[in-house]
Chain A
Amino acid sequence: MTTAPADPPPTDHRARQGRRRAWLEEASAPGRHWIRAATGLLLLDAAAGAGFAAALGGAVQTATDALQIPGQPLAQGRLAGWIVLGLVCAVSRGIAGREGELCGNRASIEVRVRLRARLSRALLARTDRRPDDAATLGTTITALAGGVDSLDGYVSRLLPARKAAVPAQMLVLLATALGSWVSALLLLGTLLPFALIMALAGGAAADEARQQFDALARLSGLFADRIRKLPLILAARAERRQAALLGRASADLHRRTMRVLRLAFLSSAGLEFFAALSVALVAMYCGFSLLGLLPFRSPEPLTLGRAVFVLALAPEFFAPMRRLAAAYHDERAAEAAADRMAPLAEPSPVLAAATHAPLAAPPHLRFEAVSVLYPGCDRPALDGLEMDVRPGEMVALLGASGTGKSSAIKLLLGLAPLAGGEVWIDDAPLSGLGDIAACASWMGQDSFLIPASVSENIALSRRDASLDEIRAAANAAGLEWDGAGAVLLDRQLDERGGGLSGGERRRIALARALLKPSALLLLDEPTAHLDPDTEAALIGTIRAAARGRTTIVATHSAALAASADRIVRLHAA
């Protein structure tokens, strides 16, 4: 019977948690100045809160003075002064709140922009990316876009709140002590059992909650998986059963989540209880002290003004911790995102840094028993390729899908790992060079276009090229005679190269390849998905472009292969 999916093998949550924390800490380092500013503003907020309480107490005291000394009129000026102080403090708190949010936003932007750049660089340096893995590709893009953004709340709210929590509490405590040190002791007295309970129960609850958050992430993963495999599920007529399975898994997760949440909320209820208790205790103490009904001699002279001051301040004492508890979700979200992003930044087999001097003449390439094995695959993508490409020769690699045509080319660019054998470029081994991308030009079946003019798109391969050089390359690629009308070099393209025909896109890519002064031309399925006429026209251009360059072209097209000097057939291993 199919039941709700069982748990995958348990992993060591604590160790994982430590790694996540360290990773997040490192990632948020670039924002530390803004985080510090936001923390400072939170402290300012606490100070202004104390000022407001003082204004309230002062105003009440002023009125009381007038009442208790017969004949003395109400000191209108003093009362107004206290009220103005209160208003100033109130607005200061508002400003501190606003500026704090903006600082948090700055910190978050700083962190996210840096992190995205860092992850992008790490990704570019990877040599072991598996090709054609759409799901992995999607996950990577999401991690880089949405995952990085998930750190927002963590950096902008949680980190300042965490840094400010203890100092802000101490500040409030100190202010309270100035008004009534007994009340300060009372506040501290409520804090101690609270901290104790948190340390005993909170830690365990947080651990459980974290595991639950992982379970939630797993449900999301299951949901995503079933949507991704929808074609399979539809073909198997299993959509009802899978929907029911998702329902059961969700309901099951809901039950378990609630069990943990009840526990987790107990800790926040504890916070709430001690916050309320601190207000009640301070009120009791002040009230009975003012009445003179304390069971012991009042240890300090307490006036009504001071009493109002400490009472108004009491809720502020637990406010920093409440702020921290409210940012709970931000932390969980950041941790989940960290799990997705950390693997992207992991070091991968980095290429030897040696750079090959630009090839002056078309190189001689010799493949000796070359194998390519992608990580996680049990079968090499390319196995024992023997091939000799003489300088200036054009060789076509022909073979069914999966025989490793593309891998042979990607190997030269450092996009596929060399698992065995050696490629000799003239007399230098590829394994010592790392890659020879810098000396090569490349064209694939999907042309990479950016939102800019056609000539800027061509000039991507050599940013310092003059207009004449670009025009010459475009001419050589047959760009200006393509189709009915000429493609204007200064025509603006949108992100997806809208309005261009398939042939025109390939020709832009070819022009780009020709603009770069390279003696090695690598082509991967340059004529795929073109109609026969367009293909025939493009083959002529490619043949002309290959003159004077060592050229390797991977293709399915018999016509294109026939135009090469030599055909090398690849067979499945």
Chain B
Amino acid sequence: MRPAPHRPDSIRALIRRECRKEGGRLLAAAISAALVGACSVLLLGLSGWFIAATALTGGAAAAAAFNALLPSATIRLLAILRTGGRYGERVFGHDAVLRAFSRIRPALFSRLAAGAPETALAMPEGDAVSRLVNDLDELEHQAVIRHTASWSWLATLAAGFALLLPFGGWNVTAAVAVLVAGLHALARMLDRHARQHENGLAAARAALRDVLSLLCDAGAELRTYALQDWIVSRIGALSLTQAGAERRIARIAGWMALARVSASGIAGMIAVAAILGTAHDGAWGIERAALCALAASMVVEGAASRLQGAQRWGEARETERRLDAMARTHAPGRSTGGRPTGAPTLDWRDGTMPTPPGTIVALLGPSGSGKTTLLHRMTGLLTPPCGCMAIGGCDLAALDPADARRCFALMPQDAPLLIGTIRENLTLMRPCATEAEMWDALHVAALDERIRRMPHGLETWLAADAALSGGERRRLALARTLLSDAPWLLLDEPTESLDAATEMLILQRLPERLRRRRQGALIVTHRTAPLAICDEIHALSPIPKPPVDAVCPAKQ
């Protein structure tokens, strides 16, 4: 029995869970941030009081009695504390979030790997992956902002009210509290308002992407029908539509900026007006006014700093939705109908004789007859239909993909290589491969001499397009597949795009190696040379793909 496939939780929950594991660091960041908030208010408030008090002591005798040392020392202390706090906030906050995301990336990868294989197969196409990576970077950035700004505003409020209440009185404190609460209410209201435009923005972006993919895809039409100007103007028009949606959101964010900045000044003026206009306690009133005016401004400013990123709340929501949609498709559990043991026989189930292990088979058929599809089904990258093939007596459809993958080692048609070293690419199929085994496989793929000549040898870094040519990349992919211990190697066009001499060399060495290791191979090819090494030729009946015209009954 396999456990029922559970729905993976949302990306937001994943981030929250991983961030919670960094509780200690986040707490340190929060305390540091709180220190910054409190110190900022106290520093300015105390300074205001200090100079007012010094000015109003009057006379040299009184000046001698005025203890100037304590407040001035406190002011300097606060300055240092604030600096340290800011540093701690940044370092702890970044450390925690980066740590959490260094676990979130592999977790997301595992989630995609555990998802429906069809999703994985669709990955190389289109721009889904680049978007996924961008989205994740954006979420990381957001998390840093969120976690470093979280407690600072609360501490600012606490320190501010601690100053305002005794020195400014109830009315000033209440006015500042109302301003802060009003700002938060406004931020919420504006965010709700912005949410209405988010869909418009998402639609505009999607439309723009569609046209951009046309630009990249439909070169022939664009040229023959002189549509270059047309498509550029269309891209311009859609860019402007997107810009319009952005501007509507920016306008909303602009109101927030206006409110935030004005409120800070207004708070200061309220404090001055309230205290100076009504106070009848002489010098003490002025001192209080100086203190409260500066403190009130700082409180509102600090408390509003939390709202600074408000215009990106919507962006983050959209990002989360996209990532969730991607990682949520889950592989359906497949009932196991037995497990092939040893080297299995291939039963084609199309009236031809089953193929015993250790045979080299050429898999032929016109384009579109499903050769690559068959290889993908055999390796569980596509869900096989019932009865399409049997492996060692087990129906392919009833086989667990993990068992199927133990039997078959696939060299895909596009011969993909991982970004990494040559060694990393070779060990993908056989983690414990020894140096000698690697060179042996490279020899069969006629690539050993080329790599020996490279200055870094097996450690040569393979980036997107450097180091190896197209044919060399294909040969490396072949060597990698050869390293596998699977009883069957599935080679999709192994000698495509190789020159004739190299092809002959490989075809001389390949059968010898397969025989020695008692491995069979299914070779898909359009070329004639590989047929010479095959024991058996299996032709797929040229059944066309399901006609495009047909309406799928499932969709009705």
Q: Are B265 and A502 in contact (CB under 8 A)?
A: no
B56 close to chain A: CB less than 8 A = yes
Interface contact A243-B109, CB-CB below 8 Å: yes
Point out the residue from B121, B125, B418, B545 that lies within 8 Å of A138, measured CB to CB: B125
Type the 1/0 row for B52-92, where 1 means its CB is closer than 8 Å to any CB of A: 11111100100100101001100110111011101100110
What per-residue 1/0 map shows which CB atoms of A263-289 lie under 8 Å from chain B? Answer: 001101100110011011011101110
From B63, B209, B246, B285, A141 is in contact (CB under 8 Å) with: B209
User: What's the Cα separation between A491 and B382 when bound, in Å?
Assistant: 37
Q: Which 3 pairs across A and B sit closest by C-beta, in order of nearness?
A: A90-B265, A502-B548, A531-B547
- Write the nearest CB–CB distance from A182 to chain B, whole angstroms: 14
A266 to B389, CA, bound (A): 65
Q: Does A369 contact B (CB under 8 A)?
A: no
Chain B interface: which of A15-23, A29-37, A254-262, A417-425?
A: A254-262
> Using Cβ atoms and an 8 Å threshold, which residues of chain A touch B53?
287
Interface string of B448-482 (1 = CB under 8 A from A): 00000000000101010100011110000000000
* A140 interface hit (Cβ, 8 Å): yes
Which partner residue on chain B sits nearest A534 by CB separation?
B549
Task: Report if B221 contacts A (CB, 8 A).
Answer: yes
Partner among B50, B227, B258 whose Cβ is within 8 Å of the Cβ of A283: B50
Tell me which residues from 239 to 260 in chain B have a Cβ below 8 Å from any Cβ of chain A. 239-240, 243, 246-247, 250-251, 253-255, 257-260
A218-257 residues with Cβ-Cβ distance < 8 A to B are: 219-244, 246-247, 250-251, 253-254, 257
Question: B208 interface residue, CB < 8 Å from A?
Answer: yes
Chain A contacts of B125 at CB under 8 A? 134, 138
Output the least CB separation between A248 and chain B (Å): 9
B437 at the interface (CB under 8 A from A): no
State A294–B457 Cα separation when bound (angstroms). Answer: 73
Among A79-87, A360-368, A468-476, the one that faces the other chain is: A79-87
Report the Cα distance A410→B221, complex, angstroms. 11
B404 to chain A, nearest CB (A): 9
Please tell me which one of the listed residues B87, B106, B110, B548 contacts residue A269 in the complex, with CB atoms under 8 A apart.
B87
- Residues on the A chain within 8 Å of B250, using CB: 101-102, 105
Q: Does A101 lie within 8 Å of B254, measured CB to CB?
A: yes
Min CB gap B103→A, angstroms: 7
Are A229 and B226 also in contact (CB < 8 A) when A94-B261, A144-B215, A556-B366 are?
no
A102: chain B residues within 8 A (beta carbon): 247, 250-251, 254
Chain A residues whose CB sits within 8 angstroms of the CB of B550 once the complex forms = 531
Residue in B78, B225, B290, B409 whose CB lies within 8 Å of A235: B409
Say whether B386 faces chain A, with CB atoms less than 8 Å apart. no
Asked if A64 contacts B544 (CB within 8 A), the reply is no
Q: Does A331 contact B (CB under 8 A)?
A: no
| CA distance in complex: A348, B236 (Å) | 23
B214 on interface, CB distance cutoff 8 Å:
yes
In contact, B52 and A528 (Cβ under 8 angstroms): no
Interface core residue of B39, B50, B205 (most chain A CB under 10 Å): B50
> Shortest beta-carbon distance, B251 to chain A, in Å?
7
Q: Are A8 and B461 in contact (CB under 8 A)?
A: yes
User: B408 — nearest CB in chain A belongs to which residue?
Assistant: A235
Residue of B nearest to A447 (CB): B221
B33 adjacent to chain A (CB < 8 Å): no
Whether B51 lies near A304 (C-beta < 8 A) is: yes
Question: Which of chain B's residues have a CB closer than 8 A to the CB of A400?
Answer: 367, 526-527
Q: Is B329 at the interface (CB under 8 A from chain A)?
A: no
A287 / chain B contacts, CB cutoff of 8 Å: 50-51, 53-54, 68, 71-72
Q: 15 more A-B contacts (CB under 8 A) besides A67-B56, A231-B376, A283-B72? A: A79-B273, A93-B261, A102-B254, A231-B412, A235-B409, A258-B95, A261-B90, A265-B90, A272-B87, A291-B63, A308-B52, A413-B224, A531-B549, A531-B550, A534-B547
Chain B: how many interface residues by the 8 Å CB criterion?
172
Chain B positions 253 through 281: 1 when the CB is less than 8 Å from some CB of chain A, otherwise 0: 11101111111111011001100110000
Q: Which of A51-59, A386-394, A544-552 contacts its partner? A: A51-59
Roughly how many angstroms separate A435 CA and B220 CA in the complex, as a whole number? 11
Q: What are 17 sample pairs from A and B whose C-beta atoms fall under 8 A apart? A: A60-B276, A86-B265, A87-B269, A116-B236, A120-B212, A120-B232, A124-B222, A138-B125, A141-B213, A142-B127, A226-B109, A227-B109, A227-B123, A276-B43, A282-B47, A283-B47, A379-B498
Which residues of chain B come closer than 8 Å to A158, judged between CB atoms? none
B351 on interface, CB distance cutoff 8 Å = no
Contact A377 B549 (CB under 8 A): no
The answer to whether the Cβ of A347 comes within 8 Å of any Cβ in the partner chain is: no
B220, A415: Cβ atoms under 8 Å? yes
Task: Give chain A residues whose Cβ lies under 8 Å from the Cβ of B325.
Answer: none
Cα distance A145–B527 in the bound complex, in angstroms? 40
Roughly how many angstroms separate A171 CA and B380 CA in the complex, as a whole number?
Answer: 69
Q: Does B541 contact A (CB under 8 A)?
A: no
- Residues of chain A within 8 A (CB-CB) of B253 are 101
* Complex: chain B residue closest to A102, CB-CB: B254
Taking the complex as formed, is A6 at the interface, i.e. its CB lies under 8 A from any CB of chain B? yes
The DSSP consensus for interface residues of chain B is helix
A515 to B157, CA, bound (A): 72
Which A residues from 481 to 502 make CB contacts under 8 A with B? 483, 495, 501-502
A123: chain B residues within 8 A (beta carbon): 215-216
- Contact at A284–B72, with CB atoms within 8 Å? yes
A159-167, A198-206, A436-444: which one contacts chain B? Answer: A436-444
A429 close to chain B: CB less than 8 A: no
The CA-CA distance from A244 to B401 in the complex, in Å, is 21
A93 x B52 contact (CB < 8 A): no
**Taking the complex as formed, is A433 at the interface, i.e. its CB lies under 8 A from any CB of chain B?**
no
**Contact indicator per residue, chain B 491-527, by CB within 8 Å of chain A (1) or not (0):** 0000011110000000000000000000000000011
| Interface assignment of B420: CB less than 8 Å from any CB of chain A | yes
The answer, among B105, B117, B380, B548, for a CB contact under 8 Å with A250, is B105
The reply to whether B285 and A55 form a contact with Cβ atoms under 8 Å apart is no
Residues in A with CB closer than 8 Å to B103 are: 247, 250
Pick the interface stretch among B6-14, B133-141, B332-340, B391-399. Answer: B133-141
On whether the beta carbons of B95 and A228 are closer than 8 Å, the reply is no
Separation in Å of the A306 CB from the closest CB of chain B? Answer: 10
A193 lies within 8 A of chain B by Cβ: no
**A536 is an interface residue with CB less than 8 A from chain B:** no
Whether the Cβ atoms of A254 and B98 lie closer than 8 Å is: yes
> A533 vs B266: C-alpha distance in the bound complex, in angstroms?
78
Within 8 A of A (CB), among B91-148: 91, 94-95, 98-99, 101-103, 105-107, 109-110, 112-114, 117, 120-121, 123-134, 136-137, 141
Judge if B442 is at the interface, Cβ distance under 8 Å: no
Q: Residues of B contacting A98 with CB < 8 Å? A: 254-255, 257-258
Q: CA of A246 to CA of B228 in the docked complex: distance in angstroms?
A: 42
Interface check B174, CB cutoff 8 A: no
CA gap between A291 and B292 in the complex, in Å = 21
Contact pattern, A 118-154, Cβ under 8 Å of B = 1, otherwise 0:
0011011000010000110111111011100000000
Is B368 among interface residues, defined by CB-CB distance under 8 A? Answer: yes
0 or 1 for each of A92-125: is its CB under 8 Å from B? (1 = yes): 0111111101100110010011001100110110
- Given A141-B127, A287-B51, the answer on whether A56 and B121 have CB atoms closer than 8 Å is no
Interchain CB contact under 8 A, A243 and B133: no
For A241, list chain B residues within 8 Å (CB). 431
Measured between beta carbons, the chain B residues less than 8 angstroms from A518 are 224
**Known pairs A142-B134, A304-B56; A59 contacts B272 (CB<8 A):** yes
A9 interfacial contact with B, CB 8 Å: yes
Interfacial chain A residues near B527, Cβ < 8 Å: 400, 572
CA distance A327 to B532 in the complex (A): 65
List the B side residues contacting A243 at CB < 8 Å: 106-107, 109-110, 113
What residue in chain A is nearest B382 (Cβ atoms)?
A: A231
- A142 close to B130 (CB less than 8 A): yes
A76 vs B277: C-alpha distance in the bound complex, in angstroms? 8
Q: A261-B94, A287-B68 are in contact. Are A221 and B102 (CB under 8 A)?
A: no
Query: B427 within 8 Å of A by Cβ?
Result: yes
Chain A residues within 8 Å of B60, by CB: 292
Contact of A279 among B44, B226, B283, B472 (CB under 8 A): B44
Q: Whose C-beta in chain B lies nearest to the C-beta of A121?
A: B232
